[in-house]
Amino acid sequence: MLRLSLPSSSSPPIASTLRSLPLRTVAARQTFRNTIGLNVWYRMASTANTNVFGLKDPSLIKTQGFIDGKWVDARDGATIRVTNPATEEELGTVPEMGLAETQAAISAAGKAFETWGRTTAKSRHDILMKLYALMQENHDDLGRIITLENGKPLAEGKGENAYSSSFIEWYAEEAVRTYGEHIPSPFTNIRNVVIKQPVGVVSILTPWNFPSAMITRKLGAALAAGCTAVIKPPPETPFSALALTELARRAGVPDGVINVVTTQKNVGEVGREMCESKTVKKVSFTGSTPVAKMLYGMAASTLKKISIEAGGNAPFIVFDDADIDQAVDGAIACKFRGSGQTCVCANRIYVQSSVYADFASRLAQKVAGFKVGNGLDDKTTHGPLIHDRAIQKVQRHIDDAVSRGANVLVGGQRISTPGTFFSPTVLSEVPADALLNSEETFGPVAALTKFETEADVLEMANNTDVGLAGYFFSRDVGRVWRVAERLEVGMVGTNTGLISHATIPFGGVKESGIGYEGSHGIGEYMNQKLIAFGGI
Ligand code: SIN
């Protein structure tokens, strides 16, 4: 903390003294300017070394939360350190906010809803389309921020920005099509009309694996529907959320409509308020199943609407009638996207015995060719994991499988450089009772298990409490229908390892979630209201 006592009568000399101070950030300088002339103790708040980001527009880096249209620090000045997982270097800090800031954000969103909720769908469409255009214009910078804070290769970082902005575009187009209906009445003197209205203030809680897209997938729908929002981004990757908020402000989203509360240590009290406050009418969460259950319990106290996208543990099945090259490419795309850190990544790879050896050797050969490194290096195909805890989980799963008889075909250990890198791994002969087959690994490990019959593999694939995505490769059209119908998941990829788009209903069954996002998901942010016209 930097403390300065400023005599109010000497602004010009102080201003030049301040300019000469070794302040690291634009944000800090701005805050200094605000204090010139005030005889105050100044507290050094959140910072970022904007040079580290190397952006065309450094003003996209915001180091404060956003409440009621203002960039703000935590009330007690506490901060969270954000690091680049590829270098372990500090990117900057953001405020460690708590209950008071969350309540202020919710109250601002509640007030803003009174006007935003009554705007026309067309005006919301126009603002969202401006935001979409700004996300395109700032494509390189937004992709770079994602790569620096998450670690994914720059091509994937930019790919995420394209994916992320596609939700804004999609929901802008959905806003103007939230039609109601007329329902024929059984009575001659009554007419029934149903209209759709925004639910109100929405709490949005998102994970670090898609620092941008998991926000727009929710925020796009909320804004398009006429809702206002309080966003809690993850402490590992807050800068994408803050940059998006800045672009939304530039696009004309009014004060209070979007609020961002950054937090880490205080997440318990922040999360509880976001789920229990009576002003909040809906909670939308993407993250782990245990946290989803906790938030669901809290939201139940006021019977809020809820959307949950939780853990996956996706099965990926290769039948003996599959095109093996296509299956190998599908497995690579599906398993190693984001270094295995997506909820829809293949977690259990089941291969029919007659094609098992061929598939395993072709997959291992391709994985051995990956180039792991800093995402900013254009030769890098795969970046680091997010933090040490992620590395430890991956290692625990590999050690467990090996202790039960699995073979390491490629990889198997941490790469010992600065940064949280793990070598992409292929394991063969993974027994059905290995941890890898029962828990989501969330890392770059392809775990191959052999199977004999369609019935056996369906039993193994469905033997889990979760059901987000599932994949299989087969050229038998009858089997394609049968297996797709029998897999207990919300989304099936047949002969493809990639399914995600703004246009599809993204969501799971069992303990993988409630509701869906994308597609017609705007409906999850709206209430239906019947208006019965009598006396006709
Ligand atoms: C997730 O990992 O939660 C989302 C993945 C996707 O949208 O494809």
Closest C-alpha to 407, from 460, 471, 450: 450
**CATH number belonging to the domain at 314-502, selected among 3.40.80.10, 3.40.50.1170, 3.40.309.10, 1.10.3720.10:** 3.40.309.10
Helix 121-137, helix 238-251: angle, nearest 10: 120
Beta bridge partners of 448: 349
- What does the domain layout of the chain look like in residue ranges? 58-310, 314-502
Question: pLDDT above 90 covers what percent of the chain?
Answer: 90
Helices (H), 404-488: 435-438, 454-462, 477-486
Mean of pLDDT values over 399-426: 96
8 A C-beta contact, residue 421 and residue 341? no
Residue 12 has pLDDT above 60, yes or no: no
Mean of pLDDT values over 337-359: 98
Residue 47 has a pLDDT of 82
Which residue's C-alpha comes closest to atom 7 of ligand 1?
500
Residue list, ligand 1 pocket, CB within 6 Å: 209-210, 286, 309, 342-344, 500
* DSSP 3-state of 518: coil
Site of tokens 């996002």: 517
Q: DSSP assignment, residue 372?
A: B
Active-site residue 156, yes or no? no
The answer for residues whose C-beta is within 8 angstroms of residue 289's C-beta and 6 or more apart is 310, 311, 465, 466, 511, 512
Tokens of 10: 């000497």
Closest C-alpha to 223, from 142, 284, 303: 284
pLDDT in tens, 268-301: 999 999 999 999 999 999 999 999 999 999 999 9
Mean of pLDDT values over 415-427: 95
| Cα Rg of the chain, angstroms | 25
Residue 42 has pLDDT above 70, yes or no: no
Which residue's C-alpha comes closest to atom 3 of ligand 1?
343
Residue 3 has pLDDT above 50, yes or no: no
Residue 51 has a pLDDT of 81
Render the burial of 119-133: b for 16+ CB within 10 Å, e for the rest. Answer: bebeebbbbbbbbbe
Q: Confidence class of residue 45 from pLDDT cuts 50, 70 and 90?
A: low
Q: Which atom of ligand 1 is nearest to the CA of 499?
A: 8
Tokens of 55: 């952006």
CB atoms within 10 A of CB 253: 24
Substitution candidate for ligand 1 out of 160, 217, 288, 342 with most atoms within 8 A of CB:
342
Give the homologous superfamily in CATH for domain 58-310: Aldehyde Dehydrogenase; Chain A, domain 1 (3.40.605.10)
Site of tokens 């003003």: 59
Mean of pLDDT values over 337-347: 98
Q: What is the pTM of this model?
A: 0.92
Q: Using CA atoms, how far apart are residues 155 and 136, in angstroms rounded to an integer?
A: 15
Whole-number Å distance, alpha carbon 344 to ligand 1 midpoint, is 6
Q: Confidence class of residue 222 from pLDDT cuts 50, 70 and 90?
A: very high
pLDDT in tens, 85-140: 999 999 999 999 999 999 999 999 999 999 999 999 999 999 999 999 999 999 99
Tokens of 289: 């199943």
Torsion of CA 207, 208, 214, 220, to 10 degrees: 100
Q: DSSP assignment, residue 433?
A: T
